[in-house]
Structure 1
Amino acid sequence: MLEILAIICLGGFLLIAKRSVVWALALIILLLPSYLWRLDFLGWPTTFLELMIVGLFIFWLIKQQRRQKINWRLSGFANRIAKPWRYFILTWLLVSVIALIFNFNLSALGLWRAYFLEPILFLLIFLYSVKNKEDRQIIFYGLGGLVVWLAFVAIWQSFTAWNLPAAYNEPNIKRLTAVFAYPNALSLLIAPITAWFTGLWLSSKHKSKELAYLGVIFLGILLLVSTKSEGALLAFGFSLLFYFFFAKIANKKKLALVIILILAIFLTPAKNYITQATNDILQPNSNQHTSSLAVRSLQWQETTELLQDHWLVGAGINGYQKMMVNYHQITWLEIFLYPHNIFLNFWVELGFLGLLLFITLMSYLARTCYGLIKNQHYLAWALTLAWLTWFVHGLVDVPYFKNDLSVLFFILLGLTILAVRDNKSNSRLL
């Protein structure tokens, strides 16, 4: 029955793709949580998100090859992906294949498809299909719509406790999850998007768009507060602080709102937080009543011991929990899927080469965002705030290794590549 329903939904999706590939991309973005719909499709375990991406790629490939619009060569002007990004994508895929081979099993193969192969397929369609400002606005609709419908689900959940796990409901601290199984799954997805729309709003010169952006920002912040994710709120606050110090804010109303948001995030809920956080990281309490940050610190210490013995190849894709058994000393603490630190995450999953590649990418992205700001590109601050929020939150969490989050990573990367392409063609699309 589920297979039949999936086929019907996929058929409807491909009909939309036939009319407009860009609208199909926006629909995938709108439905990023559809990876939660897991099914066996023709005997193959998959998710509906995967079906949409693979189905769209096959449809797009057939359509584009027929018109001979794709250039697969690494060199050549006709290739729509500039060389630095081209080499990164290929190296990223190669490193992930090596990590898969090191710890090969069917479960790891499924995760490799979801976290590496399919997001790259999505990126290829994105870069060849999103061609102008109107196309990008459609992508923005997808991102904004995602925040809006998740916010309404969370509001409904707040009143009805629908889909709210007992661990996150009263008498415990109430933390909303919307359609997800835990609060951080929601905050990791929403925080960079909220930062993105904050950057759009701060850079916008159109009153009608400003109101729409503000609406998305309000709902995004509402979601972040409802998850009670300190990491997400502090990451978002840090990006605002960065903007406050380094941007020239001409609009006094926007400046006032930025200051209010910064004060609300850093002062109201975070008294003595910096001192407590420092103690939790440097001298974590190992009893069961310790803080979540102290738990992270204990986990990082054990992961560091693992990497001392396996620094070159790490644990391989989906190999961390199994390998960590030999290094796990704090028995009351569970072994998580990942180390919950952005550098350690990539190191244990992709090995030292993957870590170096990630650091190289972050450095290149920082220089790229600086160049976009310098050239006053209209997406410069949206990209900068989104990447900053993503990165800072990742210092204490896992912002990549999940179906929706890996696609979100490549959405941001795709928008960055398009913005760089604008600069090179002297078209800022202001």
Structure 2
Amino acid sequence: MALYYLIGNENVKFSIGHLAQLHPLFALPFLGCFIALAWYRLPFAIALLPLALPYYLAPKTVVRSAQFSPAEIVLWICLGMAVVQFATLRRKWPYQLSLSELRQRFGPFLWPILLFVLAGIISLFGVSAPTEALRAFRQEILDPLLYVGLIFFCLRSRQDITRLLVALFTSGLVIALIAILDYTMFGKTDTVYGGPPSVGLLFDYTLPIGLAIIFSRISWKLRLPVLLLCIPFIYALLHNDSRGSALAAFPVVLLFVISLAIRKRKVLLIGGSIALIIVAIGYGLFYPRVNRIIMDTVINGHSDTNNVSTLQRRVHLWQSAEAMIVDHPWFGVGLDNWLCHYADPRVVPSVPALSGKYKPDLPEYSWMKSCPLASHYYIVAAENGKNTYMYNEPGLSHPHNIFLHVWVSIGIFGLLAFVALLLLFYWLFARILRYLAVQTVDHSEQWRWLAIGAAAAMLAAIIQGMVDSAFLAQDLAFCFWLLMATLLLIRSQINMSWR
């Protein structure tokens, strides 16, 4: 699939030699090989799909002008294989589930999922840019949930679930290695994304899986290689401009994993108390330096030539989202339609007016082509009579907060469903840990680290999601629903009742 994706794909922005110049027909034999292998080892192909997630910004031209990301291509091939196998084998299909069995696997998660999908469908009507909204619905809601369905049907063993999370971890490792190479050669860490924050967001969903393995009680023959493989992540994070991952998400996740690795309550309480005392004493001794570091890196960090920091920009984005929500509280403005209501293209710099139409001359302004002029724009251009310089970056495509992003995109009902899913996720996680602690379950330690890895990854995404977009993007949406499916499969495999 990698060879099929690279051959004849001129959208790949990093150098791949002469592969991009080859005729796309040369790629078809490799696609045929993948289809044949997926037919014989469908669960294997489904579990390895996370390896294709990060590359959606460089889609492959499949037929004429139709372009799809490698993850979409793999998904639809696997879905096609499953449908054809079921049609030909019928009751002999080894992955068959009855409706009651499928309903049992979803449990109480089914209703929030249905409400979330319904809110997404309703948000498609009456939007400013319907094509973008429909594409976003397919890539960020429909495709990931179809993948969850394939996971439920075809992944039936502990090895399958382990392979799924290892593939997710490996996708982050590949991006970490590309980031190191990118930084060494060009002094940046954008890799295959449009900016460093996207790299940090992918690490949120991938690195915690490695941390969970390291602090588990399985053999060191497995834990030591994973520890070594985490080093590229750390190096890439230290040279990444995304402070949400390095300074907020991973310190909290590391404490989360360590606290769950300590099984005795007394040791945990005493150790935690000692750690808090040491931190308090350290802050008391070095508080001027600590405060200065916080001001320089968090409050005033990444200031531009106008002395506007990224934190100030986020506050203005949150204000824009709040105003947008006040006017569109029930169903939002539509998926991927934020920019249509955010910045007025008539006052955007470097955009010449041509016969009343505004043609963007820079790639980051391409959204203007699909958005009609709105009656009102929500960008905070001035505050207390002072220029906020937000029009210096009119292409900021989301409000940089995971909950505001969901609300402004699909409305209050979508937000309620999203919050309910998160609450159910950690309720189920706590129940699984308690069940494994009191019941005799084969391979309980492996099940435990799988659950902790999924929960830690979700926690990292939520933390950075407070200041960034950690959900409504193609790769991140797949990661989110994959973690949901992982916990639901673990519950099923260890035979834990919903009651």
Determine if contact 1:194/1:221 at 8 Å carries over to the other structure. Answer: no
Which of 393, 397, 408 aligns to 1:337? It is: 397
SS of corresponding position for 2:48: helix
Structure 2: distance between partners of 1:221 and 1:230: 13
The one-letter amino acid paired with 1:91 is: L
- Normalising by the residue count of structure 2, what TM-score does the alignment of the two structures yield? 0.72
The one-letter amino acid paired with 2:262 is: K
* TM-superposed deviation, 1:348: 0.7
Structure 2: distance between partners of 1:347 and 1:245: 33
Structure 1: distance between partners of 2:146 and 2:211: 28
* TM-superposed deviation, 1:286: 11
Determine if contact 2:458/2:480 at 8 Å carries over to the other structure. Answer: no
Deviations 1:292-324 (A, max 9, x none): 122111110121112111111211112111112
Structure 2: distance between partners of 1:289 and 1:6: 50
Determine if contact 1:313/1:352 at 8 Å carries over to the other structure. Answer: yes
1:398 pairs with 2:469 = yes
What's the counterpart of residue 76 of structure 2?
54
Unaligned runs of 5+ in 1: 162-168, 170-174
Determine if contact 1:26/1:139 at 8 Å carries over to the other structure. Answer: yes
* TM-superposed deviation, 1:72: 6.6
What's the counterpart of residue 352 of structure 2?
none
Determine if contact 1:50/1:118 at 8 Å carries over to the other structure. Answer: yes
* TM-superposed deviation, 1:45: 3.3
Superposed counterparts of 1:180-219, under 5 Å: 180-219=193-232
What's the counterpart of residue 410 of structure 2?
350
Structure 1: distance between partners of 2:478 and 2:420: 20
1:113 pairs with 2:164 = no
Which of 446, 456, 460 aligns to 1:389? It is: 460
- Normalising by the residue count of structure 1, what TM-score does the alignment of the two structures yield? 0.83
Deviations 1:363-415 (A, max 9, x none): 11121122122234512322221111111011111011222111111211111
1:11 pairs with 2:1 = no
Which of 220, 223, 227 aligns to 2:236? It is: 223
Deviations 1:129-152 (A, max 9, x none): 111112123223312322332232
What's the counterpart of residue 172 of structure 1?
none
Determine if contact 2:325/2:408 at 8 Å carries over to the other structure. Answer: yes
Deviations 1:300-357 (A, max 9, x none): 0121112111111211112111112312132622241110101101001111111111
Superposed counterparts of 1:130-149, under 5 Å: 130-149=155-174
Q: Which runs of at least 4 in structure 1 moved beyond 6 Å after TM superposition?
A: none
Which of 280, 291, 312 aligns to 1:272? It is: 291
* TM-superposed deviation, 1:246: 5.7
What's the counterpart of residue 55 of structure 2?
34
Structure 2: distance between partners of 1:223 and 1:159: 11
1:25 pairs with 2:38 = no
Determine if contact 1:80/1:127 at 8 Å carries over to the other structure. Answer: no
What's the counterpart of residue 165 of structure 1?
none
Evaluate the alpha carbon distance shift between residue 79 and residue 311 of structure 1 in structure 2; reply closer, same or farther with a 3 A threshold: closer
SS of corresponding position for 1:101: coil
* TM-superposed deviation, 1:274: 8.9
The one-letter amino acid paired with 1:122 is: Y
* TM-superposed deviation, 1:276: 3.7
What's the counterpart of residue 128 of structure 1?
153
Determine if contact 1:10/1:51 at 8 Å carries over to the other structure. Answer: no
Q: Which moved more, 1:114-123 or 1:241-250?
A: 241-250
Structure 2: distance between partners of 1:108 and 1:383: 29
SS of corresponding position for 1:106: helix
Structure 2: distance between partners of 1:365 and 1:204: 24
Q: Which moved more, 1:358-367 or 1:30-39?
A: 30-39
Which of 490, 495, 499 aligns to 1:419? It is: 490
Determine if contact 1:317/1:349 at 8 Å carries over to the other structure. Answer: yes
* TM-superposed deviation, 1:46: 2.3
Structure 2: distance between partners of 1:77 and 1:145: 31
Residue correspondences, number: 399
What's the counterpart of residue 328 of structure 1?
379
